[in-house]
Amino acid sequence: MVEIIASCGYRCDLCPVYYKNIANIDRQKLSNGYLKYFNSQISPEEIKSCKGCFDEGEKDCLVRLCVFNKKIDNCAQCPDFDCDKLKTKMNVVEDNIKDISSLSEEDYNLFVRPYESKERLSKIKNHLIDN
């Protein structure tokens, strides 16, 4: 699958709820993981598929709206990089999972890898600066 980077730096193509991935995901496992790692109680029935922030139907995200209004591809291109809107998404892993090394490979791939936004956006920003 092609790498799809959301406005906030999340990897849509790796996200378990991305519409191309969700059919292969155990929603109960996902629900348990969201509670365990992010203290977010979402029942398996409430877990919906997502087409990413590039879909016209996805309008709830403040980061997506900001990027759209600034006519940029993602937050790495923004002069206000690391703003408060982005921090809530960019730091979601660091703020919630204290010992990533203790996770199983499966849990890392489900609950960390798609959301390693800070590192991903920083690399994109540094590449833009260097060029």
The residue ranges of every structural domain in the chain are 12-130
Distance between terminal CA atoms of the chain?
27
H or E stretch covering 72 = none
Under the banding of pLDDT at 50, 70 and 90, the label for residue 57 is low
Residues in the chain: 131
Which pLDDT score, from 0 to 100, does residue 56 have? 65
Q: What's the pLDDT tens digit per position in 88-102?
A: 888 889 889 989 999
